[in-house]
């Protein structure tokens, strides 16, 4: 799944987002592209789960593409 994510600007953001999504699935594959403001996430969770987890960390997200 690919998400547009707001408020990302640094490595701290990358770490916080990765931790939040790996809390949903410890084997999740998470890739953060700061320059595009996008997060690619693949794991045992739904798009709604990802959006909720990112919102809790103050990173509003919108689904761009589901796999």
List pLDDT tens digits, range 5-62: 999 999 999 999 999 999 999 999 999 999 999 999 999 999 999 999 999 999 999 9
Domain residue ranges in the chain: 11-62
> What CATH number matches the domain at 11-62, 1.20.1250.20, 3.30.70.100, 3.90.1150.10, 3.40.225.10?
3.30.70.100
Determine the Cα–Cα distance for residues 30 and 21; give it in Å rounded to an integer: 7
The residue among 56, 42, 17 whose CA lies nearest residue 8 is 17
Q: Specify the pLDDT at position 67.
A: 79
Reported pTM: 0.94
């Amino acid at each position: 799944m690919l998400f547009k994510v707001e408020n990302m600007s640094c490595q701290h953001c990358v770490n916080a987002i990765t931790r939040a999504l790996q809390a949903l699935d410890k084997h999740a594959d998470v890739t953060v592209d700061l320059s595009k403001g996008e997060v690619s996430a693949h794991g045992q969770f739904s798009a709604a789960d990802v959006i909720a987890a990112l919102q809790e960390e103050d990173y509003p997200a919108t689904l761009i593409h589901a796999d």
